[in-house]
Structure 1
Amino acid sequence: MIYLDLALRGGAVTILMLLALLLWRAPISLEGRLSVSALALSESAFLITTAALPLDLHPALLSNLTLIASLTPAAITWLIVTIFIDAPGQRWPWLVASLAASIAFYAHEAFPGLFSVCLPMSVVLYGALVILSLWSTRDDLVECRCRARPWFAAAIAGLALFLTAGQATGLLQEDGIILALLQAVGTLVVSLAFAVWLLRPDANRWPGETSPDIDSRLAIHDEFADPALIAGIQSAMTAGIWREEGLTIGALAGKLAVPEHRLRRAINQGLGYRNFSNFINRARIEAACTALTDPAQMNATVLEIAYEVGFASVGPFNRAFRAETGYSPTEYRHTVQSGAFTDSEKSSPIAANLH
């Protein structure tokens, strides 16, 4: 059994290293390549340092491998948020939380008592990642990501959750052969499945540019466009459907009388958006910019304008506004009043990429 464990771990490490190397030739973002490489390195180090058969490694090498292995929670989180969260600003809370879990794991080598703390931290982290992978489906417009989410959540975050929860509850002993075999088999199977998915590179799986103008998006994605549906979407947007508070892709599909998957494809491949909230919020922020620069509405509060363009509260409005323009609504209004913007920037602040 010990040698079977060692063979399985060797196979998993080989696949992980090959996957990381091959992805550097794939047409995906730099962050995508880095996140996969980080997971491959940390998971390989983890497999080596937790083998059922203790390996005779030089103390310095073992120490470095232990440090790299402790970064596995952070690496898993980085990969998942890179694939499933398009907005970089929404990823950092997850990365901070995962780094805290990694630090706790590394610290428990010097302070064994911390093991009872780092396991629950990891259980909570991996459980949250499973929920993120599934819950954010409702806003995702990229078909290949939507299809992959359930098994992705179960395979990567779910496996980590199962193993850490087993240790936390005492069902799996830390130094037991059963835990070692589960780690080896699980990692090998997940690595193979992940390799099959990732080695068919599709740039749509990874975050990319989401703010070209509509004409260029239509030109680039014309081969995928359903002209009648695109026209219906644009007509609904022109009529102001984006002003409806809490508008979902399901609700929009119902109003347009089309299946939800067709609407997702039209907005993603026809209009070039990866996220439904970004699609709706762009129209809302454009309208908010117009209201903030309208002399007739200079006495209107930011909250009133937020309600007017479809936001339920000022917090999400402020975050969405800053993400699109680089300014808070108040800063933007003051900058306009000071005369710092050109006429073109006032009329189309998002297109002007104000930062």
Structure 2
Amino acid sequence: MPLESLDLALRAAAIALLAVLAVSMWRDLGRRLTGRLAIALALGSAAHAATFNIGGTAAPSLAFAPLIALATADIVVLWLFCRALFDDGFALRWHHGLIWLAVFGFSLASCLMLGPAGHGRLVVIANNALAIGFLGLTLAQTVRSWSADLVEGRRRVRAFVVIAAMAYGGANALLQIASTGGGPSELGNVINAAMLAAVVAAVTLMLLKVGAGDVFAPEAAPVERPGVAAGPGVVSAAEAAVSRRLVDGLMRLMADERIYRQENVTIGMLASRLSIPEYRLRRLINGELGYRNFNTFLNNHRIEEAKAALADPAQAEVPVITIAMDAGFQSLGPFNRAFKAETGVTPTEYRRMRLSAA
């Protein structure tokens, strides 16, 4: 099979698999932020599959320029998708849209202005350097937030999806930059198309097997299950007693020492205080207490303290931000969002209702 035909076949396969992913996400997670971002990521990746040209620097046609810009801006969608994937409290803000629009506009202007002016090599390098920059941001935030997921199986699948996407994005960007100026490369296009098709196929098969809803769903409401050890099967009374003692020790750290007030509390820190491995503490919080995210576990205790302070007539004049900071939140915005998600009202409304009923 000629390289050009193989290239087209691989691109078509990648686009078809991306369409399957988008439909699956729409069916399972169409109303959730993570699902919508995954759909946008799949569509942007399809635009990339249709337009990349390794080694080519010729100015794109007017019809292809918006697709190239959409593919370039897809790196911003990947960044936002990873934020939403590992942070159940993440919400899109207007500045996120501006960032996407800025990258899209920069790429579009480069294609329509710099390319026709004979600066095609500069366009390729600039667009891919921008992609590498966002990949760096994505990697940093993923490393920072990955450990908060307490469900081991889901954590591994999420990590695979993110690492696969970033690995292809980085390889594609470096291949594009390294080949710039050497003329269109049929072999380079085949290699790039094969990498993209392989990554999309692996992610698609994994999600179809595990279920996108199980991997990307936000945390369910925690349900405490005292005396029931994590994991399948029946456990012995001795194992249940050990788990119960560990839970009691964890609760003492939270209730007596209020360790959740400290800045940058980690699972490793709590595991060290309890003298158990991190994986054991993950299973304990997930299996015994029903939490699937460590940050949600911490915020639950912070919000309970804040609720008590807001309902206290003696603290009626204490600013809400002071109560939030005392409880362990680092700023007012995340506190307001977490508090409203938990109670259905803002902290100020909660204080007014509780004090008026007192």
The structural deviation recorded for 1:65 is 4.8
* Count of residues in Structure 1 that have an aligned counterpart in Structure 2: 331
- Whether the 8 Å contact between 1:70 and 1:103 is mirrored in structure 2 is no
User: Equivalent residue for 1:3?
Assistant: 5
Which residue of structure 2 lines up, in the alignment, with residue 353 of structure 1?
none
Q: Report the alpha carbon displacement of residue 197 of structure 1 after superposing the two structures with TM.
A: 2.0
Give the counterpart of 1:123 among 108, 120, 132.
132
Distance in 1 (CA, whole Å) between partners of 2:184 and 2:110 is 19
Q: Which of 282, 290, 309 is matched with 1:291 structurally?
A: 309
Matches within 5 A, 1:209-228: 209-211=219-221, 214=223, 228=244
Aligned partners of 2:105 and 2:344: how far apart in 1? 33
- Rate the CA distance shift 1:332–1:142 in 2: closer, same or farther, 3 A: same
Which AA in structure 2 matches 1:201?
Answer: V
What residue is the counterpart of 2:75 in the other structure?
Answer: 73
Out of 44, 47, 55, which is 1:45 matched to?
47
- Structure 1: distance between partners of 2:76 and 2:330: 33
Q: Is the 8 A contact 1:303 1:313 kept in 2?
A: yes
Task: Tell me the TM-score normalised to structure 1 length.
Answer: 0.74
Q: Establish whether residue 267 from structure 1 lines up as the match of residue 276 from structure 2.
A: no
Aligned residue among 172, 181, 203 for 2:179: 172
Residues 227-246 of structure 1: pairs in structure 2 closer than 5 A: 228=244, 229-246=246-263
- Given that 2:262 and 2:328 are in contact with CA atoms closer than 8 Å, whether structure 1 keeps it comes out as yes
Q: Indicate conservation of the 8 Å contact 1:142/1:205, yes or no.
A: no
CA contact (8 A) 1:173 1:179 kept: no
Gapped runs of 5+ residues in structure 1? 344-355
Sequence identity, in percent? Answer: 32
- Distance between the aligned counterparts of 1:97 and 1:261, measured in 2? 37
The answer as to whether partners of 1:38 and 1:75 remain within 8 angstroms in 2 is yes
Distance 1:172 1:67 in 2: 20
Secondary structure, in 3 states, of the residue corresponding to 2:178?
coil
Task: State the Cα distance separating 1:253 from its structure 2 match.
Answer: 1.6
> Do the aligned partners of residues 61 and 21 (structure 1) sit closer, same or farther apart at CA in structure 2, a change above 3 Å counting?
farther
Q: Which amino acid aligns with 2:294?
A: F
Instruction: Check the 8 A contact 2:7/2:190 in 1, yes or no.
Output: yes
Matches within 5 A, 1:27-176: 27-28=28-29, 30-31=31-32, 32-50=34-52, 65-66=67-68, 68-89=70-91, 96-112=98-114, 115=123, 117-148=126-157, 150-167=159-176, 170-173=177-180, 176=184
Q: Which amino acid aligns with 2:280?
A: R
Structure 2 unaligned residues grouped into runs of 5+: 116-121
Q: Is the alpha carbon distance of 1:11 and 1:336 closer, same or farther for their aligned partners in structure 2, counting shifts above 3 Å? A: same
TM alignment of 1:246-265, pairs within 5 A: 246=263, 247-265=265-283
Q: Say which of 184, 204, 207 aligns to 1:195.
A: 204
User: Cα 1:20–1:331, aligned 2, differ >3 Å: closer, same or farther?
Assistant: closer
Residues 30 and 269 of structure 1, relative CA distance in 2, 3 Å threshold: farther
Q: Retained in 1: the 8 A contact 2:72–2:107?
A: yes
Q: Pick the aligned partner of 2:215 from 189, 205, 229.
A: 205
**Greater relative CO (CA pairs within 8 A, separation 6+):** 2
Contact residue 2 and residue 52 of structure 1 kept, 8 A: no
Residue 129 (structure 1) shift: 0.9
Shift of 1:200: 2.0
> For 2:78, what is the secondary structure of its paired residue?
helix
Cα deviation for residue 143 of structure 1 reads 1.7
Change (3 A) 1:157 1:92: farther
CA distance in 2, matches of 1:119, 1:192: 24
| Contact 2:89–2:338 (CA under 8 A) maintained in structure 1 | no
Structure-2 change in CA distance of 1:270 and 1:172 (3 Å): farther
**Cα offset, 1:171, TM superposition:** 1.8
Q: CA RMSD in A?
A: 4.0
Partner letter of residue 84 of structure 1?
Answer: F
